[in-house]
Structure 1
Amino acid sequence: MAPPLNRREFLQTVAVSSAAVGAGAVSGAASAQSEPQFSRQLPGGDWHYPAQADLIPFGHAVASGDPLADRVILWTRITIPDARGWDVTEVPDPQGFSSVAVGWIIATDPELTQIVNSGQVMTDASRDFTVKVDADGLQPATTYWYAFTALGYRSPIGRTRTAPAVGQGITELTIGHVACTSWWQDYFNGYARMGERGDIDLITHAGDHVYEVSGNHMSSRQYPDAEGNPQLRGYEDIDNRAWQSVGECRRRYALYYQDPNLMAAHLGAPFAIMADQHDYDDASDGDTVLISRQQAGEVYHEWCPLRSPIPDGSGQFPAPTGPNTNVPIPRGDDAFYSYRSLPYGDVAEIVLIDIRRHRDDEATEMKILGDRQWQWLQTTLLGAQARGVRHNIIVNQINLSQVGTINTPLYDQYGEALQAGLGIDPRGPEIYTTGWGGYPADRRRLYRWLREQGIVDNIVLSGDSHGWFGSDLTEDPQLPNYVPLTGASLLPPVGVEMVGTSMGRPGAQDVVADELYWAANGGRQAAPFDDAANYDQNYRPAGLAAAIAIETAAKAANPNLIYFNWKAEYGHAMVHLRESEAIIENWVSPQRELSDTAELVAQHRTPRGNPHLQPVLLPAAMVGSRVDPPAPAPAIEPVAAEPVPEAPDEPVDMPAGGHSGPWGLGTAVVLTLAHILRRRLAAGRDGGQERDI
């Protein structure tokens, strides 16, 4: 818990939270002349930073994540332009602000008039001026809208939703799923399509939420340099090359989070994010560690609206921090812990596992997960079964199902490219040996345990492969142990898997096209990556032939691989949970340009109690029965300054109808803090002690 505020700190906090813009001062005697004055004006110079200028100081808007039935994580970042530079590890007091007071509010309506909770926290350079609060006191299966205030402005308003409770009678859930999202190669149209839905409950991410480097794959866009020109060399320009410091890692998140389409998803729904390997990438110059994997993990916890578990391997969450304390950021090795689960009543258990950071070749039970994570996973799934959960959604970084030996006549023409670009060998014994394919005994143990326990309604949502792999999960995917698309197998499936394609990161078609393009243009580092029209017209066709050959051979060799699409078709998945079945959709969005369209390219259903992917021959987009009002268009509003009131003697209740208009959030912050002051004064009197409050 934060130390108690003394009276001067309390008054200064209220003053900063309600500060007027520019030279305007907070009225009342409590206004401190020494407080710095905030300016939204971009200074130029060394301050060249990815942020939406018209939203500063909330240049990356807001986000939410990891909902529980009574609470949800709310996130934002305070951006303060300063001519001295953008990196707070070098300029920890931009414009003289060594810390910033940030108010927050959550309500049941988009106008923020029906307030249900609010508070105020402090942030500073030690956490990159990010804010994470655990907003509690909420109702289950309820849609909320929220916002922040700081430096005289109110943030854009976000929409979020809590998880249902057991026995609540909720019969459906709508989940979006993404993986391997590459800002340079895709315009993130799929994010916007999810954010604008009125029925969505949660967006899951299987990892590579951000990439440490553009990779010099053919780009759809480049972030402009300080002079406004496109940056054309992936390993030279700061927003394309691999990050080389903690500051540059944080800047990469800033690049992603200023994207309007990702912002639309953040504003529209809560996220549940599991990191893959690129999110935790380290860097050195050969002799000196420039950024460690632990430090990259710390940034992941700073910038993502995730609920960091206790770093003891239990997967449990720490006690709530309260309305006036930032959620702590795990540091060092503690930042490696992010496997966790989110109970969604009796509708679903959202389970996020980590096969990257807890592998243990000395483990006695499960090497790929490590014994501690394996024990947690068993306990979690058994607990879900005991409360009657209908579906388990397991977010998993790399393909779980087998993708075995694939011999194709054209292998020699593209095999080297696939090994270089995706790290796979289609000739087997399995394509992917970096994940579960490298630990087949662990996979068999997992499948066998699920079957023995009768836990079979599992939907695994994976990533990493940059293509759609839709499979039934079975120990032996050959006759007679497995019969495709039926429930008559000797070893019936224990669930289904949909590997989500990427948003732009190359699958088989583009991996082959990349290798051909680089070879024709002086190699990977020398080749331009702003030549999309030429690339698409002259190199992608050769890659398409390879992708089709692999798809055909793979489906013939792997009967449990029901749907396989490794072409340059990027987008997102949707999962619709119903009482008797789940329906999984594959959506493709334009890659090279902004668009408000998306195409449904495949739809499968899997029945409860007898899981197997059944293709829907005439797919029609599913829509949930709930239609929430959208979040308002992203914008900031000045918060009018108000006199600081004397601390009241009685509790302060919000007036009926709450607070709205330009004064609303400033009033909420003042009243909330005044109530805290009253309670602390009372505590001091009750304890018979003098306190400096």
Structure 2
Amino acid sequence: MAKKMNRRDFVRTVALSTAAFGGAALPAVVRAQQVPAYSRQLPGGAWHFPAREELLPFGHGVASGDPLADRVILWTRITIPDARGWDVNEVPDPQGIRNVDVAWVIATDPALSNVVNSGLVSTDASRDFTVKVDADGLNSAQTYWYAFTALGYRSPIGRTRTAPKVGDGITELTIGHVACTSWWQDYFNGYARMGERGDIDLITHAGDQVYEVSGNHMSSRQYPDAQGNPQIRGYEDIDNRAWHNIGECRRRYALYYQDENLLTAHLGAPFAVMADQHDYDDYSADDGESISRAQAGEVYHEWTPMRPTLADGSGRWRPFAAPNTQVEIPRGNDAFFSHRVLDYGDVASIILIDVRRHRDDNASNNKLLGDAQWDFLTQALLASKARGARHNVIVNQVNMSQVGTINTPAYSLYADAFQNTLGIDPRGPEIYTTAWGGYPEDRKTFYRWLRDNQILDNIVLSGDSHGWFGADLTEDPQLPNYIPLAGISPLTPVGVEMVGTSMGRPGAQDVVADELYWQQNGGRDAAPFNDAETYDQFYRPLGLAAAVAIETAAKLANPNLIYFNWKAQYGHTMVHLRTTEAILENWVSPQREFSTSAELVAQHTTPLGNPHLVPVPAPQAVFGQRNDSVPDSPQTIASDHAGAGDNPGSDTSTGSGAVGGWLLTAASLWLAQRLRQRKAALSNNQD
């Protein structure tokens, strides 16, 4: 079993990787970097910015995403402190630096000694000094390690993994799933639990990766102001209020990406993210400050390790970027296109769809998705079937399964008569009508298409609802067409859905608690933002009774709703794909504090060929056969980088984080090795 590297091992890894590269062996793109004078020291003044000082210039770590069988997107951001300000729209040349050369390498080992690809790209203020490269020439179904160098420093080393191809013999896949991740309301412990796993292949996100505003929901933490004091007004302070412009939108990503637990997840696994509505929120004020949805989408593409698609709705990739070329950032309306599919050989297809941005009431096939996205989705599913993939995982922003408030048995027998003559739905209104619930005919069309094409092993991973909704997918979730947990139904389910809970954004219990708390404290805008102790002690218990009542009523009205948890229990979902079934797990992590614990609160299986959620009475956590060594935690990396000089200036700088340090260490180790060899040779001659 691979073990986690401790700090000493990490330092040794850096040294060994340097020695392995050696002078001439070090990739030419790394040795050729022009390193301008650069200071990591925080200047104060107008530079108050969320970034991890000890990791600068890589103050937001590294990330990877959208893996294919032969390539993966690698991401980082170069942060350059400057007393004139943090917004690169206003200070495009921090410390006088307008362009930064950034080298990257990807290797088969955490020591970065067996490099399989490398490159050198340039970044600047036009893309917020972010870096996105497409590392190709990789083997399928293999774990890789990668890093960047810039301005005389090396980034943390990240771990990623390529997708399998057909015939690789891969029998399992381990996926983490999250949604609605709110930095203010949750310490992101669930992110760390996923990043620490040695078997994880991919982390999917159903949207609201970042929020444009705290919402004045009760905070677990606040980012300090320039004087180090907690910011406590949700709609006034820059790091809590809605972003006002492109610079503040980018700053919000910086706030999230400097989080230690999210850093751990980014270091540990590739991501596949689909944006929901908050990621694209706009803003307009009387003073002229504004940001459009398209501009927010551009920032989403800048800061997320996702692979861009063509702006024709086909879901096809844009031309792949060369090793020394940045991945293109879609601009304007092109930034609205991000539905796509990741092929995982004969194991699965990971299909990300967008129910927010492509609705078309004039569409002939599907108004919710639009005809172009409908064609993309159905073609992706047919291609998955043709190559023999066992599972389809559909990442979908908002509940796909219906959650009716009444529902009645034998609904399909008289529904048309009721609707045609009286214009009403006897099932009662659905709880969620912002997506599939508002387009029930489109959902019915999709379900029937899946059944007609015998594409049944679908696992839909959704978000938005801030609770776990586990359901079987069928048009009519009532007797006699649907028989709960029987394994057979006249109207066969076409898959299952697990709506992931949030990391902190309020579910039913906290929605009720919020309203009561605000009412007693002068309204939403005036209520204290940081009084979690009072909130948890007095208001959450009142909300719990309401949440339990809603859960009970919803399960009675919706027999296909197998699992429903709308309490203040936040965390992540794990999906384990196997040859005969899939296993879905729901994990709760502490919300108000850093923690290394997580609790498995529910586990379900769904058999291959006959999809339906079956609760596991005494769940035991599932782990894959693979156990890759885990990257060091950000805390360990920070302590190892702290010795680097504040102003290296050139490749002669020292410190474990500097490129110059790599070369010095390489030279020292090479000389020591030569001396040992020389001494051994002399000893042998004397013998």
RMSD: 1.9
**Alpha-carbon separation, structure 1, partners of 2:31 and 2:265:** 33
Indicate the residue corresponding to 1:241 in structure 2: 241
User: Which of 5, 14, 17 is the equivalent residue of 2:33?
Assistant: 17
Are the structure 2 counterparts of residues 281 and 455 from structure 1 closer, same or farther at C-alpha, using a change threshold of 3 Å? same
1:12-161 equivalence runs, <5 A: 17=33, 19=35, 36-161=36-161
Q: CA deviation at 1:320?
A: 1.5
Verify the 8 A CA contact 1:642 1:666 in the aligned structure 2.
no
Matched AA of 1:344:
Y
Indicate the residue corresponding to 1:301 in structure 2: 301
- With 283-292 and 605-614 compared, the bigger mean Cα shift is at 283-292
Matched AA of 1:597:
S
Are the structure 2 counterparts of residues 501 and 225 from structure 1 closer, same or farther at C-alpha, using a change threshold of 3 Å? same
Are the structure 2 counterparts of residues 355 and 572 from structure 1 closer, same or farther at C-alpha, using a change threshold of 3 Å? same
Matched AA of 1:604:
H
Verify the 8 A CA contact 1:457 1:495 in the aligned structure 2.
yes
CA deviation vs aligned residue, 1:44-75 (integer Å, no higher than 9, x gap): 01000000000010000000000000000000
Q: CA deviation at 1:311?
A: 1.1
Indicate the residue corresponding to 1:7 in structure 2: none
* Residue correspondences, number: 606
Are the structure 2 counterparts of residues 61 and 14 from structure 1 closer, same or farther at C-alpha, using a change threshold of 3 Å? closer
Indicate the residue corresponding to 1:561 in structure 2: 561
Q: CA deviation at 1:17?
A: 2.6
SS at 1:174's partner residue? strand
**Alpha-carbon separation, structure 2, partners of 1:362 and 1:562:** 35
CA deviation vs aligned residue, 1:654-684 (integer Å, no higher than 9, x gap): xxxxx998139999xxxxxxxxxxxxxxxxx
Q: CA deviation at 1:631?
A: 1.2
1:513-592 equivalence runs, <5 A: 513-592=513-592
1:359-438 equivalence runs, <5 A: 359-406=359-406, 428-438=428-438
**Alpha-carbon separation, structure 2, partners of 1:373 and 1:453:** 18
**Alpha-carbon separation, structure 1, partners of 2:179 and 2:30:** 41
**Alpha-carbon separation, structure 2, partners of 1:251 and 1:553:** 42
Q: CA deviation at 1:529?
A: 1.1
Are the structure 2 counterparts of residues 388 and 587 from structure 1 closer, same or farther at C-alpha, using a change threshold of 3 Å? same
Q: CA deviation at 1:592?
A: 0.3
Matched AA of 2:75:
W
SS at 1:517's partner residue? helix
**Alpha-carbon separation, structure 1, partners of 2:220 and 2:517:** 15
Indicate the residue corresponding to 1:501 in structure 2: 501
Q: CA deviation at 1:14?
A: 6.9
Verify the 8 A CA contact 1:309 1:337 in the aligned structure 2.
yes
**Alpha-carbon separation, structure 1, partners of 2:171 and 2:157:** 28
Are the structure 2 counterparts of residues 595 and 340 from structure 1 closer, same or farther at C-alpha, using a change threshold of 3 Å? same
1:149-548 equivalence runs, <5 A: 149-286=149-286, 288=288, 290-406=290-406, 428-548=428-548
Indicate the residue corresponding to 2:606 in structure 1: 606
**Alpha-carbon separation, structure 2, partners of 1:380 and 1:665:** 50
Are the structure 2 counterparts of residues 14 and 563 from structure 1 closer, same or farther at C-alpha, using a change threshold of 3 Å? closer
Q: CA deviation at 1:286?
A: 4.8
Are the structure 2 counterparts of residues 81 and 602 from structure 1 closer, same or farther at C-alpha, using a change threshold of 3 Å? same
Matched AA of 1:50:
P
SS at 1:662's partner residue? helix
Verify the 8 A CA contact 1:640 1:663 in the aligned structure 2.
no
**Alpha-carbon separation, structure 2, partners of 1:508 and 1:99:** 48
- With 456-465 and 317-326 compared, the bigger mean Cα shift is at 317-326
Matched AA of 1:98:
R
**Alpha-carbon separation, structure 2, partners of 1:98 and 1:394:** 41
**Alpha-carbon separation, structure 2, partners of 1:545 and 1:360:** 40
SS at 1:318's partner residue? coil
Are the structure 2 counterparts of residues 517 and 16 from structure 1 closer, same or farther at C-alpha, using a change threshold of 3 Å? farther
Verify the 8 A CA contact 1:301 1:330 in the aligned structure 2.
yes
**Alpha-carbon separation, structure 1, partners of 2:605 and 2:75:** 35
Verify the 8 A CA contact 1:406 1:550 in the aligned structure 2.
no
Q: CA deviation at 1:511?
A: 0.3
Are the structure 2 counterparts of residues 610 and 229 from structure 1 closer, same or farther at C-alpha, using a change threshold of 3 Å? same
Matched AA of 1:556:
L
TM-score for the superposition, normalised by structure 2: 0.86
Verify the 8 A CA contact 2:92 2:98 in the aligned structure 1.
yes
**Alpha-carbon separation, structure 2, partners of 1:606 and 1:204:** 19
Indicate the residue corresponding to 2:616 in structure 1: 616
SS at 2:606's partner residue? strand
**Alpha-carbon separation, structure 1, partners of 2:259 and 2:220:** 14
SS at 2:49's partner residue? coil
Q: CA deviation at 1:37?
A: 1.2
CA deviation vs aligned residue, 1:125-148 (integer Å, no higher than 9, x gap): 000000000000000000000000
**Alpha-carbon separation, structure 2, partners of 1:13 and 1:524:** 54
Matched AA of 1:273:
V
CA deviation vs aligned residue, 1:76-110 (integer Å, no higher than 9, x gap): 00000000000000000000011100000000111
Matched AA of 2:64:
S
Q: CA deviation at 1:296?
A: 0.0
Verify the 8 A CA contact 2:340 2:353 in the aligned structure 1.
yes
Q: Which runs of 4+ in 1 moved over 2 A?
A: 12-19, 286-289, 632-643, 663-667
SS at 2:544's partner residue? helix
Matched AA of 1:227:
Q
Q: CA deviation at 1:288?
A: 4.4
**Alpha-carbon separation, structure 2, partners of 1:318 and 1:446:** 27
**Alpha-carbon separation, structure 1, partners of 2:660 and 2:158:** 16
**Alpha-carbon separation, structure 2, partners of 1:47 and 1:177:** 35
SS at 1:272's partner residue? strand
**Alpha-carbon separation, structure 2, partners of 1:126 and 1:664:** 35
Are the structure 2 counterparts of residues 660 and 200 from structure 1 closer, same or farther at C-alpha, using a change threshold of 3 Å? farther
Indicate the residue corresponding to 1:647 in structure 2: none
Indicate the residue corresponding to 2:416 in structure 1: none
**Alpha-carbon separation, structure 2, partners of 1:328 and 1:162:** 21
Verify the 8 A CA contact 2:30 2:149 in the aligned structure 1.
no
SS at 1:102's partner residue? strand
**Alpha-carbon separation, structure 2, partners of 1:160 and 1:529:** 38
Indicate the residue corresponding to 1:9 in structure 2: none
Matched AA of 1:515:
E
Are the structure 2 counterparts of residues 283 and 664 from structure 1 closer, same or farther at C-alpha, using a change threshold of 3 Å? farther
CA deviation vs aligned residue, 1:428-469 (integer Å, no higher than 9, x gap): 510001110000000000000000000000000000000000
Q: CA deviation at 1:488?
A: 2.1
CA deviation vs aligned residue, 1:604-656 (integer Å, no higher than 9, x gap): 0000000000000010000000000111344375699559xxxxxxxxxxxxx
1:673-684 equivalence runs, <5 A: none
**Alpha-carbon separation, structure 2, partners of 1:195 and 1:625:** 17
Verify the 8 A CA contact 1:65 1:307 in the aligned structure 2.
yes
SS at 2:378's partner residue? helix
CA deviation vs aligned residue, 1:125-177 (integer Å, no higher than 9, x gap): 00000000000000000000000000000000000000001011100000000
Q: Percent identity?
A: 74
Verify the 8 A CA contact 1:112 1:660 in the aligned structure 2.
no
Indicate the residue corresponding to 1:656 in structure 2: none
Are the structure 2 counterparts of residues 208 and 573 from structure 1 closer, same or farther at C-alpha, using a change threshold of 3 Å? same
Unaligned 5+ segments in structure 2 are: 1-27, 408-426, 653-658, 668-687
Are the structure 2 counterparts of residues 134 and 520 from structure 1 closer, same or farther at C-alpha, using a change threshold of 3 Å? same
Verify the 8 A CA contact 2:134 2:323 in the aligned structure 1.
yes
**Alpha-carbon separation, structure 2, partners of 1:213 and 1:261:** 20
Matched AA of 1:507:
G
